[in-house]
Amino acid sequence: MATEKKTLNIVIVGCGNIAGAYAKTLQPHTHIKLLGATDIDYTRAQAYVETYGGYAYESLDAVLADENVDLIVNLTIHHAHAEVITRCLNAGKHVYSEKPLALTSEESWALVRLAEEKGLRLACAPITILGEAQQTAWKLIRDGELGTVRLAYAECNWGRIESWHPAPGPFYAVGPLFDVGVYPLTILTTIFGPARRVTGFGKVLFPDRVTKEGIPFHIETPDFLTAAIEFANGSVVRLTTNFYVGHHNKQKGIEFHGDRGSLYLNDWQNFNGTVSFTEFGKEYQPVPLVKEGYPGTEWSRGVLDMADAINDNQPQRITGAQAAHVVDIICAINSSWQEGHPVTITSEFAPPAPMSWAQ
């Protein structure tokens, strides 16, 4: 007989572009209770709870003072992550954060240590390795269908942020590695383990841009970065990220190449992507997913995984340590192209377990 799941009370911090998707994908899961939300713009928090329910907290301090709150879902802008997470952990709250965990290795690992010291859970997006298509690809690799996998190509051609986002500034301030490079990097570190050396290149391709409202703005952080990443298991990855080439491009997803064959995951974000496999020298053929793919991205799946881990007193799959290692890779890529030489990485993390339905 299944044990009834304990209710986990959560609050959304940051009611921006992605906050609605979190609330919508949490709605079917009755053991997750949305107590409310807060935002630096209080009117946005009010509008959010009018749509999704709960209480509009006037400030983060008000959220942290509420003893009923178990978990904070941090959806603030990139630059605020380290400060917000630190405050939440110090207040005794578990934290699930949107990516990246922080913008420096030092801040990221300080957050991991703080959570450990406080005996609290810390997790960070992206969580797309938990998707059906991504789990299918990982299972085929684990099962040895490709033989030894020696090379992977990962593409993040993410278009021009100002063409769809109302506030593109923070994205361009951090660059495409921190915003979208984290997606394939999290998948790749799950499959290959820790990275050990990177060689990077970066450049501003398109410095002068215009917002949807017609306001010109200038960028100085590279909008194109590429890297060769060497992993501890011997695999090599070529990663390309940019905020220039649109979604119409023909280079997308992740290709894995092994001694016996190759695998193509066409989408590192959406859970219902396609997986194709070919033996060496033959044509790609579609592979059935291990389970019917969720249509699009179930943004809350990482929160659900954490809730189940808390309920069962088990490790969660998505951890702060892996997110910190991903930040290490990004910082190493940036150092490499700025300094003109390869950069070594030494950090470790405990690899996640596959989903139960993909084992």
pLDDT for position 341: 98
Note the pTM of the prediction, 2 decimals. 0.97
Q: Is the CB of residue 104 less than 8 Å from the CB of residue 47?
A: no
Q: Is the CB of residue 165 less than 8 Å from the CB of residue 17?
A: yes
pLDDT for position 202: 98
If you search the block for the tokens 């986002």, which residue do you land on? 165
Burial class (CB in 10 A: 0-12, 13-18, 19+), 9: middle
If one counts every other C-beta atom within 10 angstroms of the C-beta of residue 73, the result is 29
Judged against a pLDDT cut of 60, whether residue 339 lies above it is answered with yes
pLDDT for position 3: 63
**Strand partners of residue 241:** 156, 225
Q: What is the mean pLDDT of the chain?
A: 97
Q: H/E element holding 277?
A: strand 275-279
Q: How far is CA 83 from CA 75, 210, 344, in A?
A: 13, 30, 27
Q: Taking the domain 8-124, which CATH number applies?
A: 3.40.50.720
Tell me the C-alpha distance between 104 and 89, whole Å: 18
Q: Where in the chain is the domain with CATH 3.30.360.10?
A: 131-296+324-358
Per-residue model confidence as pLDDT tens digits over 277-301: 999 999 999 999 999 999 999 999 9
Tell me the C-alpha distance between 52 and 45, whole Å: 10
Q: DSSP letter at 128?
A: G
Per-residue model confidence as pLDDT tens digits over 174-214: 999 999 999 999 999 999 999 999 999 999 999 999 999 99
- Give the DSSP letter string of 75-111: ---GGGHHHHHHHHHHTT-EEEEPSPS-SSHHHHHHH
Per-residue model confidence as pLDDT tens digits over 239-270: 999 999 998 888 999 999 999 999 999 999 99
pLDDT for position 248: 87
Locate 195 and state its tokens.
């990275």
CATH 3.40.50.850 corresponds to the domain 131-296+324-358: no
Judged against a pLDDT cut of 60, whether residue 1 lies above it is answered with no
Which residues make Cβ contacts (< 8 Å) with residue 357, sequence separation at least 6?
A: 135, 290, 291
pLDDT band at 4 (very low <50, low <70, confident <90, very high): confident
Q: Is the CB of residue 342 less than 8 Å from the CB of residue 197?
A: yes
Q: Is the dihedral of CA 307, 270, 141, 199 positive or negative?
A: negative
Q: Where in the chain is the domain with CATH 3.40.50.720?
A: 8-124
Judged against a pLDDT cut of 70, whether residue 314 lies above it is answered with yes
Q: 3-state SS string over 223-263?
A: CEEEEEEEECCCCEEEEEEECCCCCCCCCCEEEEEECCEEE
Q: To 10 degrees, the CA torsion angle through 297, 349, 11, 81?
A: -100
Judged against a pLDDT cut of 80, whether residue 80 lies above it is answered with yes
Tell me the C-alpha distance between 18 and 321, whole Å: 24
